């Protein structure tokens, strides 16, 4: 998959892209990343990309011309590789990113992520983007961290990446639930024992225990995820057990 990122702080993206799942995916050729800096599409000595808002008020607005020229450059670069990469503008006004959207994006040949700084970008550029995406209801100082969030989440879904093999692809019965608790050695840490079922070797019992724990933590932390879900008969049964137990954590 091809990612183009438009940013006046390309170093932020470059640095992060050298590490983790993302860095490895680039090394393996599963992902390619091209950075585009609007400052290279300016003509003045100071490489100005922002200006004061019409109508007054605090802060600065990113100018139309450098951004549109950069979007055209990114489109040309993608097209040269036979790729169409719609432009996503990261903004608190966008549709909230969720796992469903991440999977949808992961099916596409490319994406161009437009990162704004200052108070925002000129509305005439907003009119030219294909989608607006938000990573959550809080205000950051730029779109670079949200762009990295979007790309990281997508990278995990591309065939051949570390995230894609087994552990991270929640195509299983645990899809849409919060995670169950994890344990590793030693079996006794202080007075705290690893739950017996996990060392029993009974894989069916382990699967059942994990699903029950996932349902428990989901009910306690994010009940909205359960009400949005069509529950399997086994899930109903495990939830009934949990309610009967007063949702208590296992006592062993």
Question: Taking CB under 6 A as the rule, does residue 38 contact ligand 4GX?
Answer: no
Residue 172 Cα distances to 69, 179, 221, angstroms: 44, 12, 21
Shortest distance (Å) from residue 105 CB to ligand 4GX: 14
- Does the N-terminal peptide bond of residue 210 adopt cis geometry, omega within 30 degrees of 0? no
Select from 10, 116, 210, 211 the one that contacts ligand 4GX (CB under 6 A): 116
Binding residues for ligand 4GX, how many (CB under 6 A)? Answer: 15
Q: Which is nearer to ligand 4GX, 16 or 242 (CB)?
A: 16
Alpha carbon distance 41, 73 (integer Å): 9
Q: Which is nearer to ligand 4GX, 38 or 120 (CB)?
A: 120
Q: Which residues between 81 and 100 bind ligand 4GX (CB under 6 A)?
A: 90-92
**Which range touches ligand 4GX (CB under 6 A), out of 14-22, 32-40, 129-137, 219-227?**
129-137
**Which range touches ligand 4GX (CB under 6 A), out of 9-17, 80-88, 112-120, 214-222?**
112-120
Provide the token pair at 244. Answer: 């009967």
Shortest distance (Å) from residue 162 CB to ligand 4GX: 25
The pairing of beta strand 131-134 with beta strand 87-96: parallel
Shortest distance (Å) from residue 239 CB to ligand 4GX: 33
Task: Provide the mask over 130-149, with x wherever binding to ligand 4GX is found by CB under 6 A and - wherever it is not.
Answer: ----xxx-xxx-xx--x---
Shortest distance (Å) from residue 71 CB to ligand 4GX: 16
- Position of minimal CB gap to ligand 4GX: 120
Alpha carbon distance 109, 15 (integer Å): 23
User: Per residue, what are the HEC states of 73-136?
Assistant: HHHHHHHHCCCCCCEEEEEEEEEECCHHHHHHHHCCCEEEEECCCCCCECHHHHCCCCEEEECC
- Please list, in sequence order, all residues whose beta carbon lies within 8 angstroms of the beta carbon of residue 6, skipping any fewer than 6 positions away: 36, 37, 38, 67, 70, 71, 74, 112, 113, 114, 115
Footprint of ligand 4GX (CB under 6 A): 90-92, 116, 119-120, 134-136, 138-140, 142-143, 146
């Amino acid at each position: 998959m091809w990612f183009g990122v438009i940013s006046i702080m390309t170093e932020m993206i470059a640095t992060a892209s050298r590490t983790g799942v993302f860095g490895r995916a680039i090394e393996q050729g599963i992902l390619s990343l091209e950075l585009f800096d609007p400052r290279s599409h300016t003509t003045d000595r100071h490489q100005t990309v922002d200006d004061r808002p019409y109508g007054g008020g605090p802060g600065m607005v990113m100018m139309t011309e450098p951004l549109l020229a950069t979007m055209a450059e990114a489109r040309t670069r993608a097209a040269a590789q036979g790729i169409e990469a719609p432009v996503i503008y990261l903004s608190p006004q966008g549709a909230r990113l969720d796992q469903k959207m991440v999977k949808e994006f992961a099916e596409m040949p490319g994406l161009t992520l437009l990162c704004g700084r200052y108070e925002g970008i000129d509305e005439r550029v907003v009119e030219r983007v294909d989608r607006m995406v938000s990573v959550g209801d809080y205000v950051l100082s730029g779109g670079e961290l949200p762009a990295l969030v979007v790309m990281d989440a997508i990278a995990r879904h591309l065939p051949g990446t570390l995230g894609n093999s087994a552990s991270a692809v929640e195509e299983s019965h645990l899809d849409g639930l919060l995670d169950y608790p994890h344990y590793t050695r030693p079996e006794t840490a202080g007075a705290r024992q690893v739950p017996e079922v996990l060392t029993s070797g009974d894989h069916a019992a382990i699967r059942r225990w994990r699903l029950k724990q996932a349902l428990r933590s989901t009910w306690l932390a994010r009940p909205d995820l359960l009400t949005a879900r069509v529950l399997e008969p086994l899930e109903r049964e495990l939830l009934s057990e949990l309610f009967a137990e007063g949702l208590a954590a296992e006592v062993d």
